[in-house]
Amino acid sequence: MEAKTLQRAAIRPLKREDLGSVVAIDANIEGRTRRAYFERRLEAALREPLLHAQFAATDESGLVGYILARVQEGEFGRPTQALLLEVIGVRTDAQGHNIGTSLFDGLCDYGRRHGLADVRTTAAWNNKRMLRWIDSMGFTLAPNHVVDCEVDGGKYTPARDDPADKLNVEGAARESNYGGQSGNDFERLARDNADVGAMQPADLADIVRIDRSNTGRDRREYMEHKLGEAMHDSAIRVSLTARLEGNVAGFLMARVDLGDFGRPDPVAVIDTIGVDSGYAHRGVGHALISQLFANLGALRIERVETVVAPRDLGLLGFFYDIGFAPSQRLPFVRHLN
């Protein structure tokens, strides 16, 4: 627990001119500079202020801490909006004076004013210092499954990269050599089952249609925001669309986190995946995942993760079947009501 401070820090929105101080505080904490990461986060907040909550703590000496969060509009199939706490930092000489508590209180106040249901975050199970702070802020363990998988350069894996009609019921490949492994280089991969490419603005109507059919909700605004991110910064968004017979048959929305939650290396996060029910059981999901791993391998991203609701056993089984496993990160939630 933090000791009580003699003078409470003032909390205000983070400004463009705060960038240098934020980068310096973070570099002192992490032992390396992450200027490009914070530049992207600040630019995103300035571009879409309603989707980001970023605050600074200041005293007579200047900026002493910061907190960065973004609004989750429907990621991982959630029906309500929430704040996702991504980064918090306090200047080393100001630690132990409730700066982190003041920043988090300011974030919670923002969430309540904007009608958000809760604050969510994740942390590595062995990050004891962060876990103590999360506990002191009133978080509880969230009932979600965080699963992840090594990208391993996008290297071929039968369970993920073989097309559905080449797999037996256990998910193991039938007798054949695949995709440049050690034999027939002309065998097709799962991503060859469909025309999979980068998501485009013209795909929006079909994406909304497929998502509405799967979820029973119209999430056009959420999809528009995610598509806008994909168009604005291809280094951050790695979203895909799959076509069969000239029609959009499925989509996958993913992004690259360049340092959120204290992660030292970039990680890809799958936010949403959907397949048109008219093209079910034709390997569309496998095609999307196979192409995603190929793209992430080219970008030298080492790991991909996602969050699955506890009730969505079918989706959880799909991810386990293609090589995902329980993550070493734990999900937490702090309800605001």
Residues 185 and 95 reside in one and the same domain: no
Same domain for 185 and 99? no
Order of strands across the sheet that contains 10-13: 10-13, 52-59, 62-72, 82-90, 118-124, 329-335, 140-141
Whether residue 210 sits in one domain with residue 168: yes
Per-residue confidence (pLDDT) for residue 167, from 0 to 100: 43
Together in a domain, 63 and 205? no
Assess if residue 215 is contained within a domain.
yes
Name 248's Cβ contacts closer than 8 Å, sequence gap at least 6.
203, 206, 207, 210, 241, 242, 276
Amino acid 42: pLDDT: 87
* Statement: residue 180 has pLDDT above 60: no
**Does residue 318 share a domain with residue 229?**
yes
On whether residue 295 sits in a domain, the answer given is: yes
Domain count of the fold of the chain: 2
Given 95, 116, 137, the domain boundary residue is 116
* Residue 7 clears pLDDT 70, i.e. is over it: no
Q: How far is Cα 235 from Cα 73, in angstroms, rounded to an integer?
A: 21
**Lowest-confidence segment of 77-91, 99-113, 167-181 by average pLDDT:** 167-181
Q: Which residue has the higher pLDDT, 5 or 278?
A: 278
- Res. 176: pLDDT tops 60: no
Condensed to tens digits (0 to 9), the pLDDT of residues 10-56 reads 999 999 999 999 999 999 988 888 888 898 888 888 888 888 999 99
Identify whether residues 260 and 200 lie together within a single domain. Answer: yes
Whether 256 and 313 map to the same domain: the answer is yes
Cα distances from 246 to residues 178, 188, 192, 249, in angstroms, run: 26, 19, 14, 9
Domain containing residue 316: 146-327
The answer to whether residue 85 is domain-embedded is yes
83-108 pLDDT tens trace: 999 999 999 999 999 999 999 999 99
Query: How much is the pLDDT for 31?
Result: 87
Structure token pair of residue 41: 């986060």
Last residue of one domain, picked from the residues 116, 133, 168: 116
Question: Quick one: 267 exposed, middle or buried, by C-beta within 10 A (0-12, 13-18, 19+)?
Answer: buried
Are residues 194 and 310 both part of a single domain? Answer: yes
Residues 111 and 154 in one domain: no
In this prediction, residue 75 carries a pLDDT of 65
Q: Does 31 reside within a domain? A: yes
